[in-house]
Chain A
Amino acid sequence: MGAYISVPVWERTIAQRYGLKGQRCLGCGAVLFPPKVVCPECGGHSFEAASLSGRGRIYSFTVIAGGGAPPEFEWQANAVGSYVVGLVELEEGPRIIAQIVGVDPRAAMAAPLFEDSAFEDSGGSSGDKGKRSLIGLPVKAVIRKVYEQEGVIRYGYKFKVVSEV
């Protein structure tokens, strides 16, 4: 019952989950992820494969209270309570939803959401991450266990906050 992505369908997206394989529109050059059949920028239908760097910045985020996690994530909620999910804007342009790992959910909730000058590249020091909003922080893609269903571990991308370049 409810949401279910079968193993064969999940497997078909392995190139995306493991390798962040996207596509580049041959019409306008836009990089798209996950792959599409029509370019949202120009309406084009021709693409070439493009690998994404996995580098980007947190565009927005939430902290999911463990008690309300989707059933697929109950094991995770039981183990860690709350967890962070972000909307990441990749360097190449696409946005992507994924969990943000290695961040203390309490610190993420304690930081003000809109003191944006504090987390520009040139701005805040990397030593006080606890007080900085996650929005704007640089991240890189990592592979983690996403969930397990029908005895199959489903691995895929999540993002990890990295120090400012």
Chain B
Amino acid sequence: MIQIISCGVYVPALRVGSSEIAKALGAYAGAGIKKKALPEVDEDAFTMAVEAAKEALLGMKTLGGSGDGSLPSARAGGGAVEGEPGRSATVAGTAGTGTSLGPGDIDYVAFASTSFPYEEKSFAGALAECLGIPKTAFVGEFGSSTRAGTEALISAASALASGAFRLALVVVSDCPGGGPRNPVEQAAGAGAVAFVLQSGENEDRCIFSLEGSSTWSKESLGIRSRRTGFTEASDLGIARHSRDAFVGTCVGAVRALLEKERRVGRGESEEKACEAALSSVGSEFRGLVATQPDARLPLDLGRTLGFQDERVLPGIVASDMGDAGAASCLLGLLAYLESGSVKPGDLLLLVSYGSGAIADALRVRVGRGVDEISRQKPLRSLLDAGTDVDFVTYLRVRGWL
């Protein structure tokens, strides 16, 4: 079983109200977004990733004493002193007792974003340096669409399932953007999320587990994309076309998940199979979490799949932080988990969408560790804690004035 044993989140402190943008531009394109998170001038996808990852690693450390012993620890004890290169770093620098997991135990890192600060340059070394992860760890980057977050998660889960890796860190950090009049920019928020994953059976430390995933893709043109050499994402602005691509692709992935696991639809027509899947999914899963280019599309998807709005709303974060790109559905998942509306054993349907178009559907089982998500700050408190800035400050921080 692939378990997520520690999580970290990061949301930059500044907020731009949608009313502030609407007042300045006369219109606002982010449906259901009340405000969006704005990275400070010295923040980017990399710095936010480090923040979220550090928290996840810190959370993992607090699990140390209750260790189930299933994981061989690379270090005995810990402490502030570096022993051998690459095996050093305890984030907190204090000595642990018993079985203690540290950054030195991580051997698989997946980093996802649609807004890496460089188009060509690996951030493997940079993340490893910042986090104290051995330089020998496998590191991969995912970033060709907003689906990159679950792409990273699935890759890590597969790596662990294969038995070739022991402990994985998945970091998804994104701060999409465009020009001041670009609809993508208007909704663009920012945030990062990090997970530590292991393959194990002891459920005490499990916040949630991944029970399966499916992917579905379809050529879809003219929706959000960014061509090589351009810094701005563009969208032809054919609203219905974009919505259909989102909902249609996501439904395709959900259907594929159900087909895979229950062999629904074998021999039936595609349309009938879809209907069969859709009719059962709302009763099987406690709730739905989806990628959030805005705060309305997940509700649209939910209605299509048979989820009432209240079973989707706990996982909507775009309303308070804007479009966090590849991180949005995973931040939404954490928001759902900490909302108090799930209990261990519940199933959540996680659907990740990327323009192009492609979607992943994941079966998420809430674990016993859900009540003790060992994070210093709940996501909700970060969302509530922002500092509002006016339109001019927003432009300055973006570097446009």
Direct touch of chains A and B (CB < 8 A): yes
Measured CB to CB, the residues of A under 8 A from B are 14-15, 18-19, 21, 24, 48-53, 75-76, 78-80, 92, 99, 101-102, 142-146, 153, 155, 158
Task: Tell me the dominant secondary structure on chain A's binding face.
Answer: strand
B48-91, CB under 8 A of A: which get 1 and which 0? 00110000000000000000000000000000111000001110
Report how far A101 CA is from B93 CA in the complex, Å.
23
A155 touches B41 (CB 8 A): no
- Hey, which chain A residues are within 8 Å of B195, CB to CB? none
- Hey, which chain A residues are within 8 Å of B88, CB to CB? 49, 51
Given A143-B50, A155-B47, is A51 in contact with B81 using a C-beta cutoff of 8 Å?
Answer: yes
Chain B min CB distance to A20 (Å): 9
- Hey, which chain A residues are within 8 Å of B398, CB to CB? 79
B397 touches A80 (CB 8 A): yes
* 26 residue pairs bridging A and B, Cβ less than 8 Å apart: A14-B129, A18-B126, A21-B82, A49-B82, A50-B82, A51-B80, A51-B81, A51-B88, A51-B89, A53-B80, A76-B41, A78-B399, A79-B41, A79-B399, A80-B396, A80-B397, A102-B40, A142-B47, A142-B50, A142-B51, A143-B47, A143-B130, A144-B43, A145-B44, A153-B117, A155-B46
- Hey, which chain B residues are within 8 Å of A21, CB to CB? 82
Does B132 sit within 8 A of A, measured CB to CB? Answer: yes
Q: Which of B47, B92, B396, B401 has the most CB of A within 10 A?
A: B47
B80 touches A144 (CB 8 A): no
Chain B contributes a number of interface residues (CB within 8 A of A) equal to 29
- Hey, which chain A residues are within 8 Å of B342, CB to CB? none
Partner of B130 from A18, A52, A158 at Cβ < 8 Å = A18
Report how far A153 CA is from B399 CA in the complex, Å.
16
Report how far A146 CA is from B42 CA in the complex, Å.
7
Report how far A3 CA is from B89 CA in the complex, Å.
32
- Hey, which chain A residues are within 8 Å of B126, CB to CB? 18, 155
Partner of B41 from A14, A19, A80 at Cβ < 8 Å = A80
Measured CB to CB, the residues of B under 8 A from A are 13, 40-44, 46-47, 50-51, 80-82, 88-90, 92-93, 117-118, 126, 129-130, 132, 396-399, 401
Report how far A51 CA is from B82 CA in the complex, Å.
7
A15 touches B129 (CB 8 A): yes
Q: Which residue of A lies closest to B85 (CB)?
A: A49
Q: Which residue of A lies closest to B46 (CB)?
A: A155
Partner of A76 from B42, B44, B46, B401 at Cβ < 8 Å = B42
Report how far A138 CA is from B50 CA in the complex, Å.
20
Chain A min CB distance to B384 (Å): 15
A50 touches B80 (CB 8 A): yes
Report how far A146 CA is from B40 CA in the complex, Å.
12
- Hey, which chain A residues are within 8 Å of B130, CB to CB? 18-19, 143
Given A49-B88, A51-B93, A51-B132, is A75 in contact with B41 using a C-beta cutoff of 8 Å?
Answer: yes
Q: Which of A75, A76, A143, A158 has the most CB of B within 10 A?
A: A143
B89 touches A19 (CB 8 A): yes
Q: Which residue of A lies closest to B93 (CB)?
A: A53
Partner of A52 from B40, B41, B51, B80 at Cβ < 8 Å = B80
Q: Which residue of B lies closest to A99 (CB)?
A: B42
A75 touches B82 (CB 8 A): no
- Hey, which chain B residues are within 8 Å of A49, CB to CB? 81-82, 88
B82 touches A78 (CB 8 A): no
Ordered nearest first, which 5 A-B pairs have the shortest CB separation?
A: A49-B82, A79-B41, A18-B129, A144-B42, A53-B93
Chain B min CB distance to A65 (Å): 16
- Hey, which chain B residues are within 8 Å of A102, CB to CB? 13, 40
- Hey, which chain B residues are within 8 Å of A78, CB to CB? 396, 399, 401
Report how far A62 CA is from B129 CA in the complex, Å.
29
A145 touches B82 (CB 8 A): no
B47 touches A144 (CB 8 A): yes
Report how far A19 CA is from B132 CA in the complex, Å.
7
- Hey, which chain A residues are within 8 Å of B46, CB to CB? 143, 155
Report how far A158 CA is from B42 CA in the complex, Å.
10
B47 touches A145 (CB 8 A): yes
Q: Which residue of A lies closest to B82 (CB)?
A: A49
- Hey, which chain A residues are within 8 Å of B51, CB to CB? 142-143
- Hey, which chain A residues are within 8 Å of B90, CB to CB? 51
Given A51-B93, A155-B126, is A145 in contact with B80 using a C-beta cutoff of 8 Å?
Answer: no
Q: Which of B41, B42, B80, B397 has the most CB of A within 10 A?
A: B42
- Hey, which chain A residues are within 8 Å of B82, CB to CB? 21, 48-51
Given A18-B129, A51-B90, A53-B93, is A145 in contact with B43 using a C-beta cutoff of 8 Å?
Answer: yes
